[in-house]
């Protein structure tokens, strides 16, 4: 009886193994056209089919956690480092190493133990109204907290991960007390309570509701290339300012991924990550999605070039995840909804 | 003497045992177990109100008050506006005569086909359009005034958008109540010196109160369930708070605690509703044999009535639909492709499966409880149908919890399967099918079941040969309602959908999430169009005389 | 002056069917109780509803207390009319208590003491906090009555007040209602299909058939001098004797076919006569059947061309097949 079961199991595993040899299951938070294009390219190049399960990163992480080792997922892709860190903390990723990955991804943009690797970069910058603000009056994130900016700032909700990561980087740089004071002051300086998406902040600045906004470069790119004329006008009315250039550098965040702990296709998964961080894919991200490559200097997109080069904060991005919970708490205490 | 007492007791015990044996059988045991099983995810969530959540104090001190306040303001506003719109239009359509009345009688239900999140997306720029006003306030009054105005603006805007698509719940029940009253009480009141207005306030409205309360309860539950609209307009509510705590803070226990609080709040509201509906038995009016003689309205009043009916219809249906149609005409070419057909079939398939499953389960549960007179089954039934009052996201969380435990115990992966998704829908929408079926059974089948029992028919025979034919209308109505609700559902689907499984609602949300709002109109329109047919059919059924 | 006057009131529901009410006129004096008697389809309920203002007549006038309620140029809505209506099914508001029902009418709470009196008179004191579904049918009716009376209407209308009651209760309720009307000095107009109601409660009656008023007058007038066979039959079995056979009869009318005149003779107006030659008209025939009804014997007598229904004293022994001679005394 036992023998029969064993051979049966073996057959099953074999069947499973051969069946999945040509497939990767990717749990992804990213919903972009660039991704669809790249996945297709990957399949064409390698013959490995890519199945995508879309969802919000946290739900995906939750699902991975409850599925455990039996999960069909091979790769997890998110749009920010905070969640990558969370995924690692939840134990749903396994450490992987490869020469190509080490070469493609700078040290500050990957997990030290290899649980996750960044693949695109976005910077959270200060966007200002060209006709009302002289770039010379801007300097750092911290300076926006000063009283002269009262009623002139807009930003989105603190429930958005990008804001949380920004605050996490400020906690890492200045400490919790100063970070809380900063959040409180910025909230007081807001022209209206946090609402809408990053693009809505740009629109508010263009409309005259506020003079400056805190938002991601990537969204400005979307506006500038939008098919809607009104969006393009908005993009034309605002300028991009990279803060803290004399100090630690502008805050950046990465989109990235890792290999799921229960993956049965580890080799293929690593190949997939290598593909995404390869120079060609990085160029696609830049042109189609207006995201910076992980080696920022390699940027080939004209639009991104037009914003100028900048110094990026080179703190290891795992700190964004590590300080995320505290960042949310501080936001709550600061009354930044 | 003693012997006869003992004899009596023995006789009683034997009879009790016989009844108990009658009640304790395959059917009732299965029904009780099924009811408990369906309640399990909600129980899991409720249980978390006692589980440790380290963040709880922080949550309680900082944001709990904000969620409570936001939810309360929104609920009160939406319920109030729905009450106003629903009752006024119902009264006009049921009791007055004016040109176009017949059209509005069925047309006023149409907004039911539009889910709250799609209504919000159709009005996505409503707040933005008020920007010039805000700028004017900022320059002419003060920046502080502008800040205050822009913060307060969300509530009226969200309330109007929600009430515009939720008022039909009140309209339907109020219209039915007013029609049922017939002319008796109005005439009696008139002979006692009360004019039409007085009749409305002191007779018709009080008599319709229990029905109206039940309609309002539905409006409130839908408001608390909504996630898309409140997120888009930026209203802090319990649902957004739960998602924020779960998603942003990664604090699942904290989120569960909040979800449990929400469930307690809802249970409280349900009890409140029961209390407000007290005396419903006093309101049982037998349908009048004389049809209501509608008040003919003079020109000015008829014009006012037309306006009164037109406004909710325009805001709740015509305007969103035309905007969506316009955008769709621009983007249809881009969005409609083979995958789009696939996800439409997904939506329809899953909604049909849910409709069938829900109707069958509701029929089985309702029948078993009534046929065997089983109080246990009756109690578990009431638990099982609580799902409708619980926001879809919370049910999904509960199911994930249960699934996780099962996975730990057995290694089976339950998440990501279509069956679990449908099961979740069943839990959420069971009440929708159960209500008409149970009401139909009470009305039509009680005596017939008794008769068939004495004739020695098996329960199965009674079920299929007696009850089902009599309940045809209720079964179809229940199934259709569940179908429409499933097509519209969003938060639950977002959480539990299997790999590569998209539905019309998730596609709409994804496109909006990527700020491709014009493109999102295409799947949104499909949802609305498919939901329209059952809504119209139902409306006609409700107007046809009951058999 | 009359309290209520109706002139030629006509109401049609459809253009093709005959009118429900066709040119009805009558009056009602202050303090009077008038009965509208008729079968189904006679238009009695329609007439009541027209007076109450719940139906609008096509032609005719209704004047109440000097105010024109209905005329070709005017229509006063029901809430402004000075009459109260007790519905056939009472129409008590099920979600209000008895006292809430009673104080619902406009002006009913002006004199709270009066309500207490009315309730006493109607024997429903103590039921104030009950709901309609908690009291008996008879009590419901009295509540409906007090509710209508509480507003002090000039005219009280009642639609089939006794039809929902058990037969054994009807007689006592009739007397109670009459007593209540007298005590409260109410002018009442009620509709019924039962002549007994009119006999006990009404001062005058109007006989309606197929929308027309066949006869208006006191019960005695109508009983003594019915206008046609239908009216005559309202009071029970009646014999119609061709006028030629009773030429001295004080009252006659056209018979149903419209050919000749007939004289109504009540069953109790016949007497047995021994000999047929004392000058009065006598009829001889054979007994077809006898039924003992306690107080009298009902005998069917077949003469050459008439079948007579005769009531003889209860102790008379008569057998079928016997030959009897009877004559009538129209003064009885």
Asked if residue A181 and residue A159 are part of one domain, the reply reads: yes
Q: Are B400 and A63 in contact (CB under 8 A)?
A: yes
Segment among A15-29, A150-164, C75-89 with least mean pLDDT: A15-29
Average pLDDT, chain B: 85
Residue range C138-145: average pLDDT? 91
Q: What pLDDT does C60 receive?
A: 92
- Contact yes or no for A151 and B150 at CB 8 A: no
Residue B546 has pLDDT above 60, yes or no: no
Asked if residue A291 and residue A240 are part of one domain, the reply reads: no
CA dist., res. A324 & res. B137, Å (int): 37
Asked if residue A75 and residue A30 are part of one domain, the reply reads: yes
Q: What pLDDT does B351 receive?
A: 94
- Contact yes or no for C87 and B194 at CB 8 A: no
Chain B residues in contact with C54 by the CB 8 A cut-off are 187, 190-191
Q: Which domain holds residue A67?
A: 22-120+253-301
* Residue in chain A nearest B58 by alpha carbon: A329
* Residue in chain A nearest B518 by alpha carbon: A228
Residue B81 has pLDDT above 50, yes or no: yes
Q: How far is B404 from chain A (nearest CA, A)?
A: 5
Q: What is the tally of helices (H) and strands (E) in chain A?
A: 15, 10
pLDDT category at B291 given cuts 50, 70, 90 is low
Residue B21 has pLDDT above 70, yes or no: no
Asked if residue A267 and residue A168 are part of one domain, the reply reads: no
Q: How far is A246 from chain B (nearest CA, A)?
A: 31
Q: What pLDDT does C276 receive?
A: 58
- Contact yes or no for B203 and C133 at CB 8 A: no
Asked if residue A137 and residue A159 are part of one domain, the reply reads: yes
Residue C16 has pLDDT above 60, yes or no: yes
Q: What pLDDT does A251 receive?
A: 93
CATH numbers and ranges of domains, chain C: 2-224 (3.40.50.300), 237-328 (2.40.50.140)
Q: Which residue has the higher pLDDT, B430 or C272?
A: B430
CA dist., res. B16 & res. C97, Å (int): 41
Domain presence at residue A10: no
Give the helix/strand (H/E) hosting A124: strand A117-129
| DSSP 8-state code for residue C304 | S
CATH, residue A73: 3.40.190.10
Asked if residue A232 and residue A317 are part of one domain, the reply reads: yes
Q: What pLDDT does B279 receive?
A: 62
Domain presence at residue A307: no
Q: In the CATH hierarchy, which fold is given to the domain comprising B25-54+336-547?
A: MetI-like fold (1.10.3720)
Annotate A240-285 with DSSP letters as a single string: EE---TTTT-BEEEEEEEEEETT-S-HHHHHHHHHHHHSHHHHHHH
Chain B residues in contact with C80 by the CB 8 A cut-off are 193
Note whether C touches B: 3 CB pairs or more under 8 A. Answer: yes
| Residue B217 backbone class (left: φ over 0; alpha: ψ -120 to 50; beta: rest) | alpha
* Long-range residue pairs from B335-342, CB within 8 A, at least 24 positions apart, any chain: B335/B511, B335/B519, B335/B522, B335/B523, B336/B522, B339/B502, B340/B507, B340/B522, B340/B523, B342/B502
Asked if residue A265 and residue A222 are part of one domain, the reply reads: no
Sorted by sequence, the CB contacts under 8 Å of residue B471 that are 6+ apart come out as: B363, B437, B440, B441, B444, B445
Share of chain C above pLDDT 70, in %: 98
Residue B286 has pLDDT above 70, yes or no: no
- Contact yes or no for B514 and A32 at CB 8 A: yes
Domain presence at residue A1: no
Residue B74 has pLDDT above 70, yes or no: yes
Q: Which of A66-80, B270-284, B530-544, C198-212 has the highest mean pLDDT?
A: C198-212
Residue range A195-206: average pLDDT? 89
Average pLDDT, chain C: 87
Average pLDDT, chain A: 86
- Contact yes or no for C78 and B187 at CB 8 A: yes
Chain B residues in contact with A32 by the CB 8 A cut-off are 514
Asked if residue A238 and residue A127 are part of one domain, the reply reads: yes
Residue A326 has pLDDT above 80, yes or no: yes
Q: Are C134 and C96 in contact (CB under 8 A)?
A: no
pLDDT category at A14 given cuts 50, 70, 90 is very low
pLDDT per residue as tens digits for the range B5-15: 888 888 888 88
Asked if residue A186 and residue A291 are part of one domain, the reply reads: no
Residue range A38-44: average pLDDT? 91
Domain presence at residue A8: no
pLDDT category at B142 given cuts 50, 70, 90 is confident
Q: Is the dihedral of CA B406, B349, B487, B212 positive or negative?
A: negative
For the domain bounded by B68-236+290-320, which CATH number is listed? 1.10.3720.10
B206 touches chain C (CB under 8 A): yes
pLDDT per residue as tens digits for the range B306-355: 999 999 999 999 999 999 999 989 888 888 888 888 889 999 999 999 99
Q: What pLDDT does C315 receive?
A: 80
Q: Which of A57-66, B103-112, C244-253, C258-267 has the highest mean pLDDT?
A: B103-112
Asked if residue A173 and residue A262 are part of one domain, the reply reads: no
Strand partners, C282: C327
pLDDT per residue as tens digits for the range B449-483: 778 777 877 778 778 877 888 888 888 888 988 99
Chain C residues in contact with B283 by the CB 8 A cut-off are 94-95
Q: Does the pTM of the predicted model rise above 0.90?
A: no
**Least CB-CB distance to B58: which of A51, A324, A329?**
A329
**Chain B from 454 to 473: CB within 8 A of any C CB:** none
Q: Give the gyration radius of chain C's Cα atoms.
A: 24
pLDDT category at B150 given cuts 50, 70, 90 is confident
Residue range A99-111: average pLDDT? 90
- Contact yes or no for B193 and C147 at CB 8 A: no
Chain B residues in contact with A72 by the CB 8 A cut-off are 413, 416, 499
Domain presence at residue A230: yes
Tell the burial category of A297 from Cβ atoms under 10 Å away from its Cβ (0-12, 13-18, 19+): exposed
Q: What pLDDT does C24 receive?
A: 92
Residue B288 has pLDDT above 60, yes or no: no
Residue B50 has pLDDT above 80, yes or no: no
Domain presence at residue A5: no
Annotate A183-247 with DSSP letters as a single string: HHHHHHHBSS-S-S-HHHHHHHHHHTS-SEEEEEHHHHHHHHT-SSHHHHHHHHHEEEE---TTT
Q: Which residue has the higher pLDDT, A331 or C111?
A: A331
CA dist., res. B430 & res. C57, Å (int): 53
Q: What pLDDT does A13 receive?
A: 43
Domain ranges of chain B: 25-54+336-547, 68-236+290-320
Asked if residue A184 and residue A321 are part of one domain, the reply reads: yes
Asked if residue A234 and residue A162 are part of one domain, the reply reads: yes
Q: Which residue has the higher pLDDT, A130 or B2?
A: A130
**Residue B109: both structure tokens together:** 């239900």
Residue C202 has pLDDT above 60, yes or no: yes
pLDDT category at B53 given cuts 50, 70, 90 is low
- Contact yes or no for A193 and B143 at CB 8 A: no
Domain presence at residue A4: no
Q: Is the dihedral of CA B340, B343, B349, B352 positive or negative?
A: negative
pLDDT per residue as tens digits for the range B243-282: 878 776 667 778 888 888 888 888 888 888 878 776 656 6
B536 phi and psi, to 5 degrees? -65, -40
CA dist., res. C182 & res. C177, Å (int): 9
CA dist., res. B10 & res. B16, Å (int): 10
Angle at the Cα of C92 from the Cα atoms of C90 and C93, rounded to 5 degrees: 155
Domain presence at residue A11: no
Chain B residues in contact with C95 by the CB 8 A cut-off are 206-207, 209, 279, 282-283
Sorted by sequence, the CB contacts under 8 Å of residue C290 that are 6+ apart come out as: C297, C298, C299, C300, C318, C319, C320
CA dist., res. B445 & res. B467, Å (int): 6
Strands C212-218 and C33-37: unpaired
**Least CB-CB distance to C79: which of B190, B202, B284?**
B190
For chain C, the distance separating the N- and C-terminal CA atoms, rounded to the nearest angstrom, is 35
Q: Which of A314-328, B161-175, C251-265 has the highest mean pLDDT?
A: B161-175
Share of chain A above pLDDT 90, in %: 45
pLDDT per residue as tens digits for the range C19-39: 889 989 999 999 999 999 998
How many distinct structural domains can be found in chain A? 2
Give the helix/strand (H/E) hosting C261: strand C261-265
């Amino acid at each position: 009886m036992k023998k029969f079961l064993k051979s049966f199991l073996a057959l099953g595993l074999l069947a499973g193994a051969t069946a999945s040899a040509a497939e990767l299951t990717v749990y992804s938070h990213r919903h972009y056209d660039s991704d669809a294009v790249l996945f297709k390219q990957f399949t064409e190049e390698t013959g490995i089919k890519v199945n995508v399960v879309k969802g919000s990163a946290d739900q995906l992480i939750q699902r991975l956690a409850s599925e455990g080792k039996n999960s069909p997922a091979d790769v997890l892709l998110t749009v920010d480092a905070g969640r990558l860190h969370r995924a690692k903390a939840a134990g749903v990723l396994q450490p992987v190493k490869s020469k190509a990955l080490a070469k493609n991804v700078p040290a500050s943009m990957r997990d030290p133990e290899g649980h996750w690797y960044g693949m695109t970069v976005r910077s959270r910058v200060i966007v200002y109204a060209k006709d009302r603000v002289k770039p010379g009056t801007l300097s750092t994130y911290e300076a926006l907290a000063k009283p002269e900016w009262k009623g002139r700032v807009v930003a989105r909700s603190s429930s958005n991960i990008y804001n949380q990561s920004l605050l996490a980087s400020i906690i890492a740089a200045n400490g919790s007390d100063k970070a809380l004071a900063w959040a409180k002051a910025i909230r007081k300086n807001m022209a209206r309570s946090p609402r809408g998406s990053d693009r809505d902040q740009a629109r508010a600045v263009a409309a005259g509701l506020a003079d400056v906004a805190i938002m991601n470069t990537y969204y400005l790119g979307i506006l500038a290339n939008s098919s809607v004329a009104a969006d393009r006008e908005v993009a034309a009315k605002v300028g991009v300012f990279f803060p803290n250039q004399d100090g630690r550098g502008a805050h950046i965040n990465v989109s990235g991924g890792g290999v799921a702990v229960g993956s049965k296709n580890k080799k293929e998964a690593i190949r997939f990550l290598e593909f995404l961080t390869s120079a060609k894919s990085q160029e696609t991200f830049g042109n189609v999605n207006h995201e910076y490559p992980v080696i920022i200097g390699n940027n080939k997109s004209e639009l991104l070039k037009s914003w100028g080069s900048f110094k990026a904060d080179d703190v290891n991005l795992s700190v964004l995840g590590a300080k995320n919970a505290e960042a949310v708490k501080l936001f709550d205490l600061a009354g930044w909804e | 003497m003693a012997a006869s007492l003992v004899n009596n007791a023995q006789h009683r015990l034997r009879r009790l045992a016989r009844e108990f044996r009658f009640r304790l059988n395959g059917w009732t045991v299965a029904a009780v177990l099924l009811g408990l099983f369906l309640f399990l995810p909600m129980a899991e969530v409720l249980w978390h109100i006692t589980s440790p959540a380290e963040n709880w104090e922080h949550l309680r001190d900082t944001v709990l008050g904000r969620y409570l306040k936001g939810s309360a303001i929104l609920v009160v506003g939406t319920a109030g506006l729905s009450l106003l719109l629903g009752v006024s239009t119902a009264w006009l359509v049921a009791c007055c005569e004016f040109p176009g009345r017949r059209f509005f009688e069925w047309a006023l239900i149409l907004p039911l086909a539009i889910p709250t999140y799609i209504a919000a997306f159709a009005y996505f720029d409503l707040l933005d359009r008020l920007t010039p006003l805000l700028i004017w306030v900022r320059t002419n009054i003060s920046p502080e005034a502008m800040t205050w105005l822009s913060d307060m603006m969300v509530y009226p805007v969200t309330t109007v958008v929600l009430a515009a698509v939720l008022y039909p719940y009140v309209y339907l029940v109020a219209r039915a109540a007013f029609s049922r009253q017939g002319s008796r009480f109005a005439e009696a009141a008139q002979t006692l010196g009360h004019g039409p207005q007085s009749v409305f306030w002191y007779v018709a409205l009080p008599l319709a109160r229990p029905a109206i309360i039940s309609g309002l309860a539905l409006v409130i539950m839908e408001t608390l369930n909504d996630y898309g609209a409140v997120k888009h307009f930026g209203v802090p509510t319990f649902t957004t708070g739960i998602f924020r705590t779960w998603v942003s803070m990664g604090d699942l226990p904290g989120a569960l605690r909040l979800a449990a609080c929400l469930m307690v709040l809802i249970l409280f509201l349900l009890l409140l509703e029961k209390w407000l509906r007290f005396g419903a038995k006093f309101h049982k009016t037998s349908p009048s044999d004389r049809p209501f003689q509608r008040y003919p309205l003079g020109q000015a009043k008829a014009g006012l009535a037309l306006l009164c009916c037109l406004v909710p219809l325009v805001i709740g249906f015509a305007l969103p639909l035309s905007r969506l149609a316009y955008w769709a005409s621009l983007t249809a070419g881009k969005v409609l492709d083979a995958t789009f057909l696939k996800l439409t079939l997904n939506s329809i398939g899953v909604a049909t499966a849910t409709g069938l499953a829900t109707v069958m389960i509701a029929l089985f549960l309702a029948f078993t409880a009534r046929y065997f007179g089983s109080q246990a089954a009756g109690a578990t039934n009431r638990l099982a149908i609580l799902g409708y009052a619980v926001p879809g996201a919370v049910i999904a969380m509960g199911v994930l919890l249960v699934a996780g435990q099962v996975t730990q115990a057995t290694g089976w992966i339950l998440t990501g399967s279509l069956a679990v998704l449908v099961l979740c829908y069943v839990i959420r929408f069971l009440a929708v099918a159960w209500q008409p079926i149970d009401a139909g059974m009470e009305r039509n089948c009680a005596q017939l079941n008794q008769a068939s029992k004495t004739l020695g028919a098996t329960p199965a025979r009674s079920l299929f040969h007696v009850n089902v034919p009599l309940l045809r209308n209720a079964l179809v109505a229940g199934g259709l309602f569940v179908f429409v609700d499933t097509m519209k559902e969003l938060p639950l689907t977002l959480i539990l959908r299997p790999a590569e499984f998209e539905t019309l609602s998730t596609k709409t949300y994804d496109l909006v999430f990527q700020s491709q709002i014009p493109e999102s109109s295409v799947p949104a329109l499909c949802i609305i169009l498919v939901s329209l047919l059952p809504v119209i059919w139902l409306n006609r059924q409700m107007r046809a005389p009951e058999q | 002056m009359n309290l209520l006057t109706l002139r030629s009131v006509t109401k049609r529901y459809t253009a093709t069917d005959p009118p429900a009410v066709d040119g009805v006129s009558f009056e009602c004096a202050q303090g009077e109780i008038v009965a509208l008697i008729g079968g189904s389809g006679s238009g009695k309920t329609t007439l009541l509803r027209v007076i109450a203002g719940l139906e609008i007549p096509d032609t005719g006038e209704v004047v109440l207390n000097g105010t024109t309620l209905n005329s070709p140029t005017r229509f006063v809505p029901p809430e402004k009319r000075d009459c109260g209506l007790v519905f056939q099914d009472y129409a008590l508001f099920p979600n209000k208590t008895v006292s809430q029902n009673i104080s619902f009418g406009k002006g009913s709470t002006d004199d709270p003491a009066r309500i207490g009196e009315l309730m006493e008179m109607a024997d429903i004191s103590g039921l104030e906090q009950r709901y309609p579904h908690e009291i008996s049918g008879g009590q419901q009716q009295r509540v409906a009555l007090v509710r209508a009376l509480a507003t002090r209407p000039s005219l009280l209308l009642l639609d089939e007040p006794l039809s929902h009651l058990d037969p054994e209760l009807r007689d006592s309720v009739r007397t109670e209602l009459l007593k209540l009307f007298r005590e409260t000095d109410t002018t009442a107009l009620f509709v019924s299909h039962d002549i007994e109601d009119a006999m006990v409660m009404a001062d005058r009656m109007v006989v309606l058939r197929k929308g027309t008023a066949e006869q208006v007058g006191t019960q005695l007038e109508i009983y003594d001098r019915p206008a046609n066979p239908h009216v005559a039959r309202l009071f029970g079995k009646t014999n119609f004797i061709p006028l030629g056979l009773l030429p001295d009869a004080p009252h006659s009318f056209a018979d149903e076919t419209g050919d000749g005149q007939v004289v109504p003779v009540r069953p109790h107006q016949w007497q047995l006569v021994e000999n047929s030659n004392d000058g009065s008209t006598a009829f001889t025939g054979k007994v077809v059947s006898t039924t003992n009804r306690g107080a009298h014997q009902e005998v069917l007598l077949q003469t050459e061309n008439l079948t007579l229904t005769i009531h003889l004293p209860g102790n008379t022994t008569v057998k079928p097949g016997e030959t009897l001679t009877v004559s009538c005394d129209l003064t009885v």
